[in-house]
Amino acid sequence: MDKNRVVLFYPSPSKNAVNLIPLNLMAIARMLDPEFYKVEIVNATVEKNYISRILNKAGKGDLLCLGVTCMTGYQIHDALKVAKKVKRCFPHIPIVWGGYHPTILSIETIRESVVDIVVKGQGELTFRELIERLSNNLPFEDVPGIVYKTKDRRVRENVDRPMVDLNRFPPLPWNLIDGDRYKRFDPRWKVTMDYYTSQGCPFSCKFCAEPMFCKHRWVSLNAERVVKEIKMLKKEFNVDAITIRDSNFFVNKRRVKKICEGLIREKVVIKLIGVNARIDTFLSYEDKMWDLLYSAGFRELTIGVESGDQTVLDMLDKKITIRDIFLFFEKTTHYNLKIWVSLMAGLPGRDTKEEFGATLNLIDGLMRKSYQAISEVHIFKYTPYPGSALYDIAKEYGFIPPRSIEGWNSMGFFHKRTFGMDKNYSRYVNYLTFCILPRLINPYKYKNSMVRLMFKKLIDPIFRWRWQNRCFDFFVERYLIDMLNYIGALKDKLMRKKLMHKK
């Protein structure tokens, strides 16, 4: 029997993640000729019985390989679970790993018994060449961008493959997924879907592993293609908004301008949300550019503000000042753009109390200015990601990296295991991000009148008192909040189902 089936597995990035589009797997799947290969994507965020489905596919006897993607964190847990079961039942099937974590720690990853090949970096061309070698039983030694085990289980690392122009690649194969399963409902933006227009980032934020992954390169689709594909997504899936998943969408201002002009010219009525951007980039834009962005449908930016401590901003190489932050929010409020704010706490070598206090003071200052631009504020726990410039500094301050890939599955922004942060502050981060700040900044208006009244008369006053007094201990009201959220979500869930059904 010819082996021409390729199964690609998307592990869940968290225990509760749902409906995440596997854009990275679609990117490599598009490179395989459907006349020769049967490509299937199995996604843990939309399928409950994903392990059984993969094992059933493997049992048919025509599986050429299993491809697995993963980032540092919980995805590793899911990826290992599936890989171990497949390898135990079908030891002859090659298992290929790719994504951020395998790229950055490729040797550590390949040492795992259930990993046969690692694809590093931009995987489109590498994966296609690899599949062609596997299907023809040819050696891998001249395939750039991989680390692999030979037949005698020795590790071989080939030369890296540079990133190439995205316009060389065909469109994403949306036919490989059920698009309706990946629509999400947001009360502000209604029905949304994910899309990306570029890969990589040329900047050097020292907490970020992106420079290690992309070697400071940024490649993008041209403006005409972006407009065409956004128009297609709007028409095919009837969405109200599109979340742009680029690491940094706004690198090339001329391209951004052309995309805006194209969307306006083609009369594409769409909201563009969650678009990653930098404060220094936007402060360099003239007023006409801000107006153009809004006219084209840009409604929400994701901004790494990171800290209210100037020493930390300098340490992270953010190239902004506290004054720049306030000026940015003043302008975004004026131009009706919403901002999803990302902050962090627990940097190596910094006094957590001082750093945390400065960040809370920054948030407080922004709220006192009544900047309507603020959409959400999330404070994350600093995580020493391998490949980032701060990684070695974190080790100097006592961070002990996991000895195997399995140990990395417990690393994450909100995981209980933290580095360089007192347990109390670690708990405060979660309370603030998930409970207090959402109610202070952009409180959700529950449809259920009883739940709405309870928040207005009881929970919100408690939160305001906590914020004013910086008192985040003894969080006893969380049990009442959980109950109210559950009650309020029931009616909202019915409303979402009704709206999605109409779509």
pLDDT tens figures, 199-230: 999 999 999 989 888 989 999 999 999 999 99
Per the structure, the complete domain to which residue 57 belongs is given by 5-157
The answer to whether residues 410 and 468 belong to one domain is no
473: Cβ contacts below 8 Å, ≥ 6 apart: 424
Residue where one domain finishes, among candidates 418, 437, 456: 437
The answer to whether residues 378 and 477 belong to one domain is no
Give domain status of residue 164, yes or no.
Answer: no
Cα separation of 294 and 274, whole Å?
Answer: 14
The answer to whether residues 220 and 365 belong to one domain is yes
Residue 417: pLDDT band (50, 70, 90) is low
Q: Structure tokens of 464? A: 């305001």
- Residue-wise pLDDT for 32-50, tens only, equals 999 999 999 999 999 989 9
14: Cβ contacts below 8 Å, ≥ 6 apart: 73, 74, 412
The answer to whether residues 469 and 390 belong to one domain is no
The answer to whether residues 200 and 75 belong to one domain is no
Token pair 């947001």: residue: 186
Q: Structure tokens of 106? A: 């490729």
The answer to whether residues 231 and 149 belong to one domain is no
- Residue-wise pLDDT for 326-381, tens only, equals 999 999 999 999 999 999 999 998 998 999 999 999 999 999 998 889 999 999 98
Q: Over 80: is that where the pLDDT of 493 sits? A: no
Mean pLDDT for the chain overall: 92
**What CATH number is associated with residue 322?**
3.20.20.70
- Residue-wise pLDDT for 77-133, tens only, equals 999 999 999 999 999 999 999 999 999 999 999 999 999 999 999 999 999 999 999
The answer to whether residues 190 and 281 belong to one domain is yes
Give domain status of residue 475, yes or no.
Answer: yes
Give domain status of residue 179, yes or no.
Answer: no
The answer to whether residues 195 and 128 belong to one domain is no
Give domain status of residue 170, yes or no.
Answer: no
Partners of 7 in the β-ladder: 40, 66
Give domain status of residue 174, yes or no.
Answer: no
Give domain status of residue 177, yes or no.
Answer: no
The answer to whether residues 414 and 483 belong to one domain is no
The answer to whether residues 416 and 457 belong to one domain is no
The answer to whether residues 429 and 467 belong to one domain is no
Give domain status of residue 388, yes or no.
Answer: yes
Give domain status of residue 287, yes or no.
Answer: yes
The answer to whether residues 427 and 460 belong to one domain is no
Residue where one domain finishes, among candidates 404, 437, 470: 437
**What CATH number is associated with residue 129?**
3.40.50.2300
Q: Over 90: is that where the pLDDT of 485 sits? A: no
Contacts by 47-50, CB closer than 8 A, 24 or more apart = 50/9, 50/82
Q: Based on the structure, what is the number of domains in the chain?
A: 3
pLDDT over 70 for what percent of the chain? 94
Write down the pTM of the prediction. 0.91
